[in-house]
Structure 1
Amino acid sequence: MTVDERTQQPASPEATLWELHDITKVFPGVRANDGISMVLHAGQIHGLLGENGCGKSTLIKILSGVQQPDSGELRHRGRPVTMATPAAARAQGVATVYQEFSLIPHLTVAENISMGRHPRRRGGLLVDWKAVATGAGAILAELGLDIDPQTRVADLSVAEQQLVEIAKALSQQATLLILDEPTTALGQQEITLLHGLLRRLRSRGVAILYISHRLDEVVELVDSFTVLRQGKVASASGQTRLDVGEIVTAMIGQDVGEHYPKERNATDQVVLTARGLQTATRVRGVDLDLRRGEVLGLGGVIGSGRTEIARALFGADPLTGGEIAVDGRPLRLRGPQDAIRAGIALVPENRKYDGLFFNFAAGPNITMARLGAVRRGLLFDHGKERATAQRYITDLEVTPAAAAKTVNLISGGNQQKVLIARWLFTGSRIVILDEPTQGIDIGAKLAVYRLINELTRAGHAVVMISSDHNELLAMSDRIAIVKHGRVTAIRPADQVSHTDLVSAAEAPHQHPVPADNPLTVSTGESR
């Protein structure tokens, strides 16, 4: 899918800020970086792209002083440098925002932003807390964030925590800003805000190294990019057009065809009906129908209530009003166990904390929701569990290592497939996927898309939440637009635009649905 026909235009050599020359880093059994060379220019946003395991993380750790190369050279403004520690890298103007948060939850936003650099008073004896709050407020204002500096980080949403991480890095007056998957937890409004900030920083001469699996946003943002594959440079800056299809080919090493391989398997048979759903977690009178073989997308801005609707359908948040029917039969939904027995599954947004047991391998993770099926009388049958796990590992093309390794040691895409395997094992016919491709690479995304097609082809119904609007529009049959915990309209996906997913969620009256449209859902809300 071509997004942009531009050819990369590297900056002039005079603008060179950092050079990586023939960087090699070897760990036991793996050559993570193999002779990588790359140039970063002041006033440019440079993308670093590649599948999980291609060497991106190792390379940014070398730039950040966390690790040192076994061979090769780093040059700053043309001079060789050695950065033995993160503090040495920061002294050279390098600030890194990692995919995993480094915030301290019980401290305030202001305390986190100035951590390790608290301004002092009275000869350095006391922390100047007023200056801490003022400084944090200034950087938050520059980002355009309406976050109280005195708020505890633990009380922020995941998206807000990500933006605080970026504010913390920017407060260091960095000349090189490294962002590792900065938009993973962000919605479209937050992404637009962040990209606007990055463009302003670029205009001030800051060099930005941008790592993201969201290729559609990459081609709209970066000035140049490098693609890694199996620890080597697969495409250096200027060798590949700024085009999604060509980037994917460079990343994977083959033409994968369609970026979003959507199948149309929806039928007219309604398998789930929700009427007037309400919860204490902001779900307010939700009406929707889900059909056999379809993908129903929930679209809207972060905080609109998409995840809360998913949790209500799964019984994770108790209903305070409304009713659900499965196959026309009312469902008494007292908790997740009732949903599981009715064939409803939820793959949560945060697979690390809400989905997987990281100290177990794939087998226990897959069978956990249906232990009775792997018992022999009163005894647990480990052999049956292993056989069950192997069947799903084969069918879903999970890495074979998942049979023996704990799931924290396999990639995000494989983790996601293990979670889906759990619910297939329970016999679930209604699968709710909350951000199913968040934080995984293009190869793993394609595997998830193919798995969604397999589910709908087999007659399963899928509810999908995604903050990646291109993904949501491409992989859904219909999209329910969510605003403040309500479903304001349901339309065929080809009748929904990017603008609808943001502005329609904020002002639905600007995008009325024709009264004779049978897919319109009335919520009783004034239009």
Structure 2
Amino acid sequence: MSEFILELRAITKTFPGVKALDRVNFQLRSGEIHALMGENGAGKSTFIKVITGVHRPDEGEIRYNGERVEFKGPNDAKKLGIAAIYQHVTCYPDLSVTENIFMGHEKVHKRTRRINWREMHHEAQRLLERLGADFDAKAMMGSLSVAQQQIVEIAKALSTDAKVIIMDEPTAALTQRESEQLYTIAEALRDSGVAIIFISHRFEDMYRLASRVTVFRDAKYIGSWGVDEITNDALIVAMVGREVTQLFPKKEVRRGEELLRTEGLGRTGYFADISFALHRGEILGLTGLVGAGRTEVCQALFGIEPCDRGQIFVKGSPVAIRDPLQAMQLGIGYLPEDRQKQGLVLDWEIGRNITLPSLGGLSRRGWLDVGREDAVSQTLAEKVSVKARSIHDLVSSLSGGNQQKVVFAKLLTADLDVIILDEPTKGVDVGAKSSIYEIISDLASQGYGILLVSSEMPEVIGMSDRVIVMKEGRITAELQRGQVTQEAILEAAMSGNEAKPHPIHAG
């Protein structure tokens, strides 16, 4: 018996004009959680498709339990016990959990050849209980949360007796509590002998779960290490190809005039008594556990879901913000948490996305000046370092980090003073994060007031001048840059009491 349940040797895969994998290696043991990390475009997605039989490699070999195998299609990989769970769950929302679990391998009566619903429901429920699920096998898939749908996907893999499970960015859309539940499930699977390839951009996922980590960069295999054998800095160098000397390039900027102030802001059922001020040149962090009400506060400030009590002041004048257009006219811009659904038109070109908020200023007598539009979008795309062949490429063709840069460029076409950034580095790799932090720091130095909403504590601590912590819709702490620690944030986010009212000065 081989030491490795799955081994890939010198795998190469080429598409027209692109070498997606260039002699990559990978080794996986039974009962092991092995992290696979790399920037977007490193080859991870193609790697998954080779393992699951979607793509056949041009060169190299795959070994399963020591024997060389060739997958002619996904069913060949499935028969050997290889399954993949993707970040964006692919399911049938109008069918039950049981139907989703057994789709394509239904249990049937031997004599009548009809579907054996009783056995399927029983087996589905048993799998859900094994995974600690709090929902029934007869529930409709569309009624479940993203975390619950991922549990169904894991149950589906187990229903095929999977020995190798690939988890592709499974925590990207989960809350901290849901991530912990997934960690517990992954550890239980590992202890039962299942081998897991865990793909993530989040270092906390790797440190929490994996015993080994492999890094790909630019379609090449860079190396494999024990998680306790490689430093964070060395891992970043392996992923990015250069030393990121300053992951959080925070510039010291003198705080200017007050741009935005809230007093007693509230929206029934979501948040209450939100009072803070934001100044020119300042980065104000807003954090707390997912569900604390941070996004709802941002949406109220941008007029998406207006507040029902309290007051908003823009440059000292009281305003009532009823919709996003009014917010932008007042100089407030918003980068939403979900860039693909709320921030971009994926089937449009990069340039058209960038200039979308400013078409009026690029038009003459009702006709769009296309030449001027191209010039503006080209300038802004270069300003935020969007990596693309042309501004006429579709946004859907870009990596997550470059899509996020397009949303930044889009904000810069409008005449803004305040920019609200809701999870600006969510789902992007460490190299793209470093670039986005540079953009944020540059915007603050240019005089914008930045409200930075983030669940990542190193990001909040590294980039903010002040930090506001929320819990259950209320502010529980306001910390100055020198006071901010992970421990202080966690205490305020998990057990903190409502912060005492404090005077808000316009200076």
The alignment status of 1:433 with 2:421, answered yes or no, reads: yes
The alignment status of 1:59 with 2:47, answered yes or no, reads: yes
Residue in structure 2 matched with residue 42 of structure 1 by the alignment: 30
Question: Mapping of 1:123-202 within 5 angstroms?
Answer: 123=111, 126-129=114-117, 132-147=120-135, 149-202=137-190
8 Å contact from structure 1 (residues 189, 502) kept in 2: no
Equivalent-residue separation in structure 2 for 1:124 and 1:476 (angstroms): 67
Residue in structure 2 matched with residue 267 of structure 1 by the alignment: 255
Give the TM-score of the pair, scaled to structure 1: 0.88
Residue in structure 2 matched with residue 460 of structure 1 by the alignment: 448
The alignment status of 1:257 with 2:245, answered yes or no, reads: yes
After superposition, the Cα gap between the structure-2 partners of 1:408 and 1:174, relative to the gap in structure 1 and judged at 3 Å, is same
After superposition, the Cα gap between the structure-2 partners of 1:69 and 1:172, relative to the gap in structure 1 and judged at 3 Å, is same
**Alignment: residue pair count:** 505
Pick which of 500-509 and 363-372 moved more.
500-509
Query: What's the offset of the Cα at 1:300?
Result: 2.2
Equivalent-residue separation in structure 2 for 1:355 and 1:50 (angstroms): 25
Deviation by residue 1:303-334 (Cα, 9 ceiling, x = unmatched): 22222222111111132222211111112211
In the alignment, residue 205 of structure 1 is paired with which amino acid?
G
Equivalent-residue separation in structure 2 for 1:459 and 1:145 (angstroms): 49
Residue in structure 2 matched with residue 524 of structure 1 by the alignment: none
SS in 2 for 1:277: strand
Question: Mapping of 1:270-285 within 5 angstroms?
Answer: 270-279=258-267, 282-285=270-273
The alignment status of 1:87 with 2:75, answered yes or no, reads: yes
8 Å contact from structure 2 (residues 285, 466) kept in 1: yes
After superposition, the Cα gap between the structure-2 partners of 1:293 and 1:169, relative to the gap in structure 1 and judged at 3 Å, is farther
Residue in structure 1 matched with residue 191 of structure 2 by the alignment: 203
Query: What's the offset of the Cα at 1:263?
Result: 3.1
After superposition, the Cα gap between the structure-2 partners of 1:259 and 1:180, relative to the gap in structure 1 and judged at 3 Å, is same
Which of 343, 347, 355 is the matching residue for 1:359?
347
Give the TM-score of the pair, scaled to structure 2: 0.91
SS in 1 for 2:205: helix
After superposition, the Cα gap between the structure-2 partners of 1:443 and 1:460, relative to the gap in structure 1 and judged at 3 Å, is same
Residue in structure 2 matched with residue 9 of structure 1 by the alignment: none
Residue in structure 2 matched with residue 8 of structure 1 by the alignment: none
Query: What's the offset of the Cα at 1:151?
Result: 4.6
Deviation by residue 1:209-261 (Cα, 9 ceiling, x = unmatched): 11111124323432112211221112244699422210111122221213333
Question: Mapping of 1:56-455 within 5 angstroms?
Answer: 56-120=44-108, 123=111, 126-129=114-117, 132-147=120-135, 149-237=137-225, 241-265=229-253, 267=255, 269-279=257-267, 282-455=270-443
SS in 2 for 1:275: strand
Equivalent-residue separation in structure 2 for 1:148 and 1:287 (angstroms): 42
Deviation by residue 1:421-474 (Cα, 9 ceiling, x = unmatched): 111111222111222112211111111111111111112122222233332332
In the alignment, residue 219 of structure 1 is paired with which amino acid?
Y
Equivalent-residue separation in structure 2 for 1:168 and 1:321 (angstroms): 47
Equivalent-residue separation in structure 2 for 1:141 and 1:239 (angstroms): 31
After superposition, the Cα gap between the structure-2 partners of 1:136 and 1:477, relative to the gap in structure 1 and judged at 3 Å, is farther
Query: What's the offset of the Cα at 1:264?
Result: 3.8
SS in 1 for 2:389: helix
After superposition, the Cα gap between the structure-2 partners of 1:140 and 1:429, relative to the gap in structure 1 and judged at 3 Å, is farther
Query: What's the offset of the Cα at 1:398?
Result: 0.8
Equivalent-residue separation in structure 1 for 2:425 and 2:227 (angstroms): 28
Deviation by residue 1:127-167 (Cα, 9 ceiling, x = unmatched): 45555555444444444443455554444444544454444
Which structure 1 segments of 5+ residues have no match? Answer: 1-12, 520-527
Equivalent-residue separation in structure 2 for 1:290 and 1:226 (angstroms): 42
Query: What's the offset of the Cα at 1:61?
Result: 0.7
Equivalent-residue separation in structure 2 for 1:316 and 1:132 (angstroms): 44
Two-structure CA RMSD over aligned residues (Å): 2.8
Pick which of 382-391 and 312-321 moved more.
312-321
- Aligned identity (percent) is 39
Which of 2, 6, 20 is the matching residue for 1:32?
20
Residue in structure 2 matched with residue 488 of structure 1 by the alignment: 476
Pick which of 357-366 and 171-180 moved more.
171-180
Equivalent-residue separation in structure 2 for 1:286 and 1:114 (angstroms): 48
